């Protein structure tokens, strides 16, 4: 068990989120950062890793994963509704093997 001071409320978290490109990145990060308790959110199209700093008193990882799924992106335990996923731009359709390896203009 980790002991901490009451002011140590922020925690770094990370988990995988499916997506392909910069548009996915923007959508994923915006969905998360709008949630109360999310202090910082970042997603990498290269690693598919979502990282955030959260106030655990206000938000949980499943809450964030559910919100990200609601905007069209799968993560562990949460699948985006087909109706939302199907409305994503073609380059963002990560379930389609044809778009997974496209050059999405990310020359980072």
Q: What is the pLDDT of residue 104?
A: 47
Instruction: State how many domains the chain has.
Output: 1
pTM for this prediction: 0.84
Residues of the chain short of pLDDT 70, as ranges, are 1-8, 100-108
Q: 48 in a domain, yes or no?
A: yes
Q: 87 in a domain, yes or no?
A: yes
Question: What would the pLDDT profile of 12-41 be if each residue is shown by its tens digit?
Answer: 999 999 999 999 999 999 999 999 999 999
Q: 3 in a domain, yes or no?
A: no
CATH of residue 54's domain is: 3.30.70.100
Q: 83 in a domain, yes or no?
A: yes
Q: From CA 62, how far away is CA 86, in angstroms rounded?
A: 23
Buried b (16+ CB within 10 A) or exposed e, 39-65: eebebebeebebebebeeeebebebbb
Q: Which domain holds residue 19?
A: 10-99
CA angle at 89 for the pair 84 and 90, rounded to the nearest 5°: 110
Where do the DSSP E strands lie in the chain? Answer: 10-16, 38-43, 49-55
Q: What is the pLDDT of residue 92?
A: 96
Q: What is the pLDDT of residue 97?
A: 84
Average pLDDT, the chain: 89
SS3 100: helix
Q: 105 in a domain, yes or no?
A: no
- Listed in sequence order, the residues at least 6 apart from 73 whose beta carbon sits closer than 8 Å to its beta carbon are 17, 18, 19, 24, 27, 28, 80, 94
Q: What is the pLDDT of residue 76?
A: 93
Q: 30 in a domain, yes or no?
A: yes
Partners of 12 in the beta sheet? 53
Q: What percent of the chain has pLDDT over 90?
A: 80
């Amino acid at each position: 068990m980790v002991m901490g001071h009451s002011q140590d409320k922020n925690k770094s978290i990370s988990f995988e989120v499916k997506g392909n490109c910069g548009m996915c990145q923007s959508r994923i990060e915006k969905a998360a950062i709008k949630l109360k308790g999310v202090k910082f959110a970042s997603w990498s199209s290269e690693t598919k890793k979502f990282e955030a700093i959260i106030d655990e008193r206000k938000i949980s990882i499943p809450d964030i994963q559910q919100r990200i799924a609601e905007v069209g992106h799968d993560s562990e335990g949460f699948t985006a509704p087909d109706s939302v996923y199907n409305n994503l731009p073609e380059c963002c359709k990560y379930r389609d093997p044809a778009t997974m390896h496209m050059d999405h203009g990310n020359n980072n």
